[in-house]
Amino acid sequence: MNEIINDILFLFQRFGWTDLLDIILVAAIFYMVLLLLRDTEALVLLRGVFFIVILLALVTGLADLPAFSWLISTVLPALLFAIPVIFAPEIRRALERVGRAGNVSFLARTRITSEAHLNATLDAVIQAASRLSERHHGALIVIQRMQGLREYVETGVPLQAEVTPELLLQIFYPNTPLHDGAVIIVENTLVAASCVMPLSSSGVLNRSPDRTMGLRHRAALGISEVSDAICVVVSEETGSISIAQAGKLIRRLNMERLRSSLHAFFEPTELAGGQGLFRRLRALFMPSDAHDREGGSR
């Protein structure tokens, strides 16, 4: 016991401020990696990797196994090359977030100059969502913010039309040529309809009632994971309205909450705190216990 205490005291005597900084930096990197992998399937893979590494360390440490130790020391370095392949979507998403972070102030300035057009667009989307919800007509409306969505616009039918409730109602009327897919809105222009969106890769859908959601909700989450767009989803089955942003979903919104949420997301003074803003809105509109109680919807 005295030997252990002496070793601890020896470590504290040699511990300096550079060592503290070193520990903080390493801890910060691990924290950011876990934060980026949160609610993704990659987190499950990461847990599996940690479990295997710990198990191998215990086996090789408790017994003298030369052949097994040689095999592990030979194979493990090769596995490092597989990490970029396994975590490619998460790495891409992290780099996209870093790239978007520097342009928030520019977006705020452009929004101030086009506030009237923005309010008209949001009001049209809100009115259309309300009427679509009453009729149980499914809809997926993607509103571009700073990051361009050109590659997704090219998958749809170009319209270049002014955003009006009547136009959105006509597009999402069942069995019409453009009702499948998403519409993409840029400023006050509906640039394309029937656009194909990427499906979400989030592991949350596999571990919660949200896994019963249909393709519209998964597509809304998918485009919100790879861009900063705001997506309004109307469920065809229940008529409920949801908003997807940054890979998260605010569900079962009434008209008042839909209006306040959309205007809050596009408020120039709030854009700098995008993630924090979403957390405040989610906590306000859907507490965690309510989220756990609600069933899935399409």
**CATH code of the domain covering residue 196:** 3.40.1700.10
pLDDT at 282 over 60: no
Beta strands in 123-208 (DSSP E): 139-143, 157-162, 182-186, 189-195
Evaluate whether residue 205 is within a structural domain: yes
Q: Are 139 and 193 part of one and the same domain?
A: yes
Q: Are 89 and 107 part of one and the same domain?
A: no
Q: Which helix (H) or strand (E) holds 243?
A: strand 241-245
Q: Are 135 and 199 part of one and the same domain?
A: yes
* CB neighbourhood size of 64 (10 A): 8
User: What is the per-residue pLDDT for 172?
Assistant: 94
Evaluate whether residue 116 is within a structural domain: yes
Domain boundary among the residues 45, 72, 100 is at 100
Task: Give the residue among 153, 161, 207 at the shortest CA–CA distance from 184.
Answer: 153
SS3 106: helix
User: What is the per-residue pLDDT for 74?
Assistant: 77
Residues 49-96: tens digit of each pLDDT: 777 777 877 777 777 777 777 777 777 777 767 766 766 666 666 666
Q: Are 27 and 87 part of one and the same domain?
A: yes
Under the banding of pLDDT at 50, 70 and 90, the label for residue 104 is very low
Structural domain that includes position 55? 2-100
User: What is the per-residue pLDDT for 39?
Assistant: 55
Q: Are 145 and 26 part of one and the same domain?
A: no
Q: Are 109 and 150 part of one and the same domain?
A: yes
Q: Are 227 and 135 part of one and the same domain?
A: yes
Q: Are 17 and 127 part of one and the same domain?
A: no
**For the chain, what is the mean pLDDT?**
76
User: What is the per-residue pLDDT for 93?
Assistant: 63
* CB neighbourhood size of 170 (10 A): 14
Rounded-to-10 torsion of CA 120, 121, 125, 126:
-40
Structural domain total, the chain = 2
Evaluate whether residue 222 is within a structural domain: yes
Evaluate whether residue 298 is within a structural domain: no
Q: Are 235 and 283 part of one and the same domain?
A: yes
Q: Which helix (H) or strand (E) holds 279?
A: helix 274-285
The more confidently predicted of residues 267 and 200 is: 200
User: What is the per-residue pLDDT for 134?
Assistant: 93
Q: Are 159 and 95 part of one and the same domain?
A: no
Evaluate whether residue 151 is within a structural domain: yes
Report the pLDDT averaged over residues 223-238.
89
CA 61 to chain centre: 41
Domain boundary among the residues 78, 100, 122 is at 100
Taking the C-alpha atoms of residue 99 and residue 160, their distance in angstroms, rounded to an integer, is 28
Residues 130-177: tens digit of each pLDDT: 999 999 999 999 999 887 888 899 999 999 999 999 999 999 999 898
Q: Are 116 and 92 part of one and the same domain?
A: no
Domain boundary among the residues 54, 85, 100 is at 100
Q: Are 123 and 75 part of one and the same domain?
A: no
